[in-house]
Structure 1
Amino acid sequence: MESKDKLFRKKSTLNCRGKILQLDTPQVMGILNVTPDSFYAGSRLSSVSEAVQKAEAMLAEGADILDIGGYSTRPGAAEVSEQEELDRVVPAVEAIMQAFPEAILSVDTFRAKVAEAAINAGASIINDISAGNLDEAMYEMVARLQVPYILMHMRGTPQTMNTLTDYEDVVLDVLDELQKQVAILTQLGVKDIILDPGFGFAKTIDQNFQLLNRLEELRILELPLLVGVSRKSMTYKYLGINQSEALAGTIALNTIALMKGAAILRVHDVKETKQTVQLYTKTTL
């Protein structure tokens, strides 16, 4: 007998520039940060060659998507100029695509110019932490290029978001704010939209747990859900440990996310997450 969760989740695909990504089985997105100041030291890469080596390792571990970012979005992160972000991201995308032409790459940026340059360099998904709110040109560009778009909930900027955590009901408010953006994107003709509730972005630790506990409520929009809780403060601060000790807690939270319908898990630790997905999938056959 099929599980309730299996019946609830509709099969879905993403068209990644001609490569079809199946979402009926949860996918794993590996994080590649070509930045010197990302919140987790284990994800920082200082050169293109390091990015290629990390990409090779993650693909060998089973990563379905690689997410490349050149602007740290941790709370209070320093501003990075558009040109500097371009100089970090585009060469990394080009080098990884040259080494692994079948790889599916996502670009983690809220800037339309950086996103388009990365797509032209070989990336096929845009991962926007701002849901289009930090660059008014983003939605038009996504509609023109017709690439999958990850719509993440955030308020303010990485520099101000920690002061913007006043919600009447965090789950319903996040749902309402995402729904409005989905309507705009749909009207523009964007076909592949993925929702990310934005764990850790303009949310307190308690609000993060409320979101995870009621994650299935976001599925009312009938769009794939991406969950990014890897080694974040809702794990290590709540448990009173260091980020380097947060793998077990991350796996626990990702397992809950899978049970509540997550289609993509964005993580630092690909091998362990792929094992988690394999075991989860086996129990839902």
Structure 2
Amino acid sequence: MNVYYCPIVGAGPKPEVALPLAGGPFWFREIRVHRRDAVEDVIPAVSAPPDVLDRLTARRADIAGLSLDRPRLMGILNVTPDSFSDGGRFNDRDAAIAQAQKMRADGANIIDVGGESTRPGASEVPVDEEIARTAPVISAIRAQSDVPISIDTRKASVAQAAIEAGAGLINDVAAFTFDPDLARVTADAGLPVCLMHAQGDPQTMQDDPRYHDVLLDVYDFLAARVAAAEAAGIPRDQIIVDPGIGFGKTVEHNLALLRGIALFHSLGCPILLGASRKRFIGVIGGGEAATDRVNGSIAVALHAARQGVQFLRVHDIFATKQALDLEWAINGAAKR
């Protein structure tokens, strides 16, 4: 039977008996142990197997030139006509470049450029069209700034064009299952990758998502995809994992993943959370329009940051950074 180890994360001054979490400002001294169809246990951290502790405590390597000793903000730049929150606002090249500049000025550490909407019900975009949307924008941003850029795509050809234009990270919502050649492209370029969990494709993923245990099922999927990426030649320390909030999940599934998100530290990889403005926030907190979900998005981002999540993929950079800076100042953690 598989055993899963979820650190119980603490913040502020580290007790003498606590262990550092992922080399960052957080710590843990107990671990919640999960087994399928069994009651959870809580054990002292030092009782966990040595290999588990190695992955939980090891400092995470820099990704795309960014140190991960504090949360990093990934600004969402959708150059699409139909993304759920901002579709059509930035599909004009000049508007996209201006938005990238604004996000950078507001405190974005990396800009994530996407040319294919993966909202529920979205249709696949032809490769040539996706390249035409993304590569010129990436090239223009790179010409004006040294800000790290990621390409949000499932497709090897789109990623290759983005790399040539200046992208330094691949963000694949399909975790190399949609286009397996994307693993080769990423490895050949020597770039880091973010591997996300999704159940089904965008057209059908919200029809009737079901899991035996959503937290453990998503963990097992990501563990297998990390192993596949390593087999393709991508070092584990250059792999980010994303539980895929809203991608084939109900509200309760999303909440279960958020409550247990620290479990993913035991993969030994940085964690990315992309929950910004998503529908479940409006269901719980109100906000029919995506733009009415900013405050709820910040609440989720702060929860993730307190659990040691290293990347927060958000629309509202300034508001999120302000909240993080206040949280850090109040609780004594290092300022971003």
Q: Is the 1:143–1:189 Cα contact (8 Å) retained in structure 2?
A: yes
Q: Deviations over 1:247-277 (max 9, x none)?
A: 1111111111111121000000000111122
Gaps of 5+ in 1: none
The SS at the match of 2:241 is: strand
Alignment-derived partner of residue 2 in structure 1: 14
Given residue 147 of structure 1, which amino acid in structure 2 is its aligned partner? L
Q: Deviations over 1:11-50 (max 9, x none)?
A: 323342xxx2101111000000100111003783121111
The SS at the match of 1:212 is: helix
The SS at the match of 1:231 is: coil
Q: Is the 1:10–1:24 Cα contact (8 Å) retained in structure 2?
A: no
Distance 2:88 2:198 in 1: 22
Alignment of structure 1 residues 189-200 onto 2, 5 Å: 189-191=233-235, 192-200=238-246
- CA displacement at 1:155 relative to structure 2: 2.0
Task: Supply the RMSD in Å over aligned alpha carbons.
Answer: 1.6
Given residue 38 of structure 1, which amino acid in structure 2 is its aligned partner? S
1:234 aligns with 2:280: yes
Alignment-derived partner of residue 77 in structure 1: 122
1:114 aligns with 2:158: yes
Distance 1:239 1:7 in 2: 30
Q: What TM-score comes out, normalization by structure 2 length? A: 0.80
Alignment-derived partner of residue 66 in structure 2: 21
Alignment of structure 1 residues 247-266 onto 2, 5 Å: 247-266=294-313
Distance 2:61 2:319 in 1: 24
The SS at the match of 2:219 is: helix
The SS at the match of 1:126 is: strand
Corresponding residue to 2:207 among 159, 163, 170: 163
Alignment-derived partner of residue 11 in structure 1: 59
Query: Higher helix proportion, which one?
Result: 1
Given residue 85 of structure 2, which amino acid in structure 1 is its aligned partner? Y
Corresponding residue to 1:143 among 187, 190, 200: 187
Given residue 262 of structure 2, which amino acid in structure 1 is its aligned partner? E
Q: Is the 1:27–1:265 Cα contact (8 Å) retained in structure 2?
A: yes
Distance 2:324 2:255 in 1: 21
Given residue 110 of structure 1, which amino acid in structure 2 is its aligned partner? R
Q: Deviations over 1:122-147 (max 9, x none)?
A: 01000000001100211111111110
Q: What TM-score comes out, normalization by structure 1 length? A: 0.94
The SS at the match of 1:175 is: helix
Gaps of 5+ in 2: 1-12, 29-56
Distance 2:69 2:149 in 1: 19
Alignment-derived partner of residue 51 in structure 2: none
Q: Is the 2:149–2:169 Cα contact (8 Å) retained in structure 1?
A: yes
Q: Is the 1:52–1:99 Cα contact (8 Å) retained in structure 2?
A: no
Q: Is the 2:81–2:87 Cα contact (8 Å) retained in structure 1?
A: no
